[in-house]
């Protein structure tokens, strides 16, 4: 998606992946489920990877949501707000119930300013874990939602602009948060 503008309203943006990437995304999800069986998912069963999908997924190991050419406007520079970023958030869902499963991260003036010291700002959000948790299906279309959270002095109007928002396959290992386990004698690493 080209030309994303964020203001005081929460929004959702449709991101369409390349047709050739659909199977690779599914292969990454399947392989990740096999490599990280303790990853929290919304389903008790995970499909087993075939040897063909495992070998294909070795080319790509993770999926990211990427924001290119991100900038804070003059109105947004002072902060006082941020956005919670979600992947494929169900329409009219209770955010407190389903939000943690779909959560990718946060976006605000601080994140952008800290990257601006390096020149043009590109922000990447690991999406593999969320795709595994929500049991994402093979699809070209994914919805990225930005839920605005205001502080006491939140600005009005456009606060953030991004040149492009896209889904990207990566050869980097997926960032996965495993289930929490109660510490016990079996958890002692020595």
Q: Residue range 118-147: average pLDDT?
A: 87
Tell me which CATH code domain 2-176 carries: 2.60.120
Q: Residue range 8-19: average pLDDT?
A: 91
Better-predicted residue by pLDDT, 42 or 25: 25
**Contact present, 111 and 123 (Cβ < 8 Å):** yes
**Contact present, 67 and 165 (Cβ < 8 Å):** yes
For residue 58, what pLDDT band results from cuts at 50, 70 and 90? low
Q: Residue range 8-20: average pLDDT?
A: 90
Q: Per-residue pLDDT tens for 64-93? A: 999 999 999 999 998 999 999 999 998 888
For residue 21, what pLDDT band results from cuts at 50, 70 and 90? confident
Sequence-distant (≥ 6) Cβ neighbours of residue 38 within 8 angstroms: 178, 179
Mean pLDDT of the chain: 81
pLDDT computed for residue 151 by the predictor: 93
pLDDT computed for residue 172 by the predictor: 85
**Contact present, 116 and 46 (Cβ < 8 Å):** no
Strand partners, 167: 65
How is residue 88 written in tokens?
Answer: 């494929």
Nearest to 162 by CA among 127, 128, 111, 117: 111
Query: Using CA atoms, how far apart are residues 23 and 25, in angstroms rounded to an integer?
Result: 5
Range of weakest confidence among 96-105, 137-146, 170-179: 170-179
């Amino acid at each position: 998606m080209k030309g994303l503008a964020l203001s005081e309203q929460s929004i959702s943006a449709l991101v369409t992946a390349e047709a050739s990437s659909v199977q690779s995304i599914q292969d990454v999800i399947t392989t990740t489920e096999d490599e990280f069986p303790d990853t929290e998912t919304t389903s008790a069963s995970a499909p087993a990877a075939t040897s063909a999908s495992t070998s294909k997924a070795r080319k790509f190991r993770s999926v990211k949501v990427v924001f290119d050419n991100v900038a804070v406007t003059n109105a947004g520079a002072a902060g006082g707000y941020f956005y919670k970023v979600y992947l494929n958030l169900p329409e009219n869902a209770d955010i407190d119930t389903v939000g943690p499963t779909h959560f990718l991260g946060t976006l605000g003036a601080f994140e952008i300013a800290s990257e601006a010291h390096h020149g043009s700002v590109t922000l990447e959000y690991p999406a593999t874990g969320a795709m595994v948790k929500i049991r994402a299906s093979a699809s070209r279309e994914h919805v990225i939602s930005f839920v605005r959270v205001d502080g006491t002095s939140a600005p009005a109007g456009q606060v953030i602009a991004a040149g492009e928002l896209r889904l990207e396959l990566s050869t980097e290992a997926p960032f996965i948060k495993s289930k929490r386990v109660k510490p016990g004698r079996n958890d002692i690493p020595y």
